[in-house]
Amino acid sequence: MVFRMDEDAFRAFYDRTARPLWAYVSRMAGDPQFADDLLQESYFRFLRAGVAWESEAHCRRYLFRIATNLVNDHRWRRRRREVPLPEPGTAWEPRADTDVAGGAERRTDVGRALARLRPRERQLLWLAYAEGASHREIAAALGLALGGIRVMLFRARRRMAALLAESRSGGS
């Protein structure tokens, strides 16, 4: 046995967490292809760390913390402050088989707005509103002090709402 977690437990955990984790890293890194690598790397580091199974939520927070650190490392390596907006037809472009025109346009707006946020704001908003994480869980996943989450989240939300409004009103 190489890891502390056995294969059956891992399979169940993976089935419950892989899709939300992939969605998180793909939106944070801005690159779906790279998200595949990050997904594998996140689970490998999670298994290697031998996290004690306190609860599903605990392991999930740990996994998202690992993924967040990997995304941050990736960004620092590229030495860019913002993840660039991918070209149309790649990351944020809606898929023809899953979307209708209105939804596609709306999600393109969301992708553009996300891309214009600071990385930390993206992470906060995604964890809070896509993942439904509590402030405590967000603090644990991002390695932030619990006390500052509320204000940071409020500011990030206001900024994204303004970007969405700007995008939908035809601004750049």
Partner 1 sequence: MARMHACEREPDVLDALARDWWPNRADDDLRAHVAGCASCTDLVVVAGALQQELAVATDARRLPPADIVWWRAQLRARDEAVRRATRPIAVAHGVAIAVSTVVAWEASRAVAGWAWEARGVLAEWAGQCGASLASFGAGVLARASSGSVLWILLIATALVAVALTPVAVYFAVNEE
**Amino acid present at 103:** G
Give the one residue of 84, 103, 143, 148 binding partner 1; rule: CB under 8 A. Answer: 103
**Binding to partner 1 (CB under 8 A): which residues in 117-146?**
125-126, 128-132
Stretch that binds partner 1, among 3-11, 63-71, 80-88, 136-144 (CB under 8 A): 3-11
Give the one residue of 59, 74, 111, 141 binding partner 1; rule: CB under 8 A. Answer: 111
**How many other C-beta atoms lie within 10 A of the C-beta of residue 54?**
10
112 binds partner 1 (CB under 8 A): no
Q: How far is CA 46 from CA 58, 74, 120, 140, 167, in A?
A: 12, 18, 22, 15, 38
30 binds partner 1 (CB under 8 A): no
**How many other C-beta atoms lie within 10 A of the C-beta of residue 85?**
15
Sign for the pseudo-dihedral over CA of 47, 50, 53, 57: negative
How many residues lie near partner 1 (CB under 8 A)? 52
Nearest to partner 1 of 8, 79 (CB atom): 8
64 binds partner 1 (CB under 8 A): no
Token output for 100: 């209708």
Cα angle, residue 105 at apex, residues 99 and 110 outer, rounded to 5°: 105
* Alpha carbon distance 151, 9 (integer Å): 37
CA end-to-end span of the chain: 54
Residue numbers at the binding site for partner 1 (CB under 8 A) = 2-3, 7, 10-11, 14-15, 18-20, 22-23, 26-27, 32, 36, 39-40, 43-44, 47-48, 94-95, 98-99, 103, 106-107, 109-111, 113-114, 125-126, 128-132, 150-151, 153-155, 157-158, 160-161, 164-165
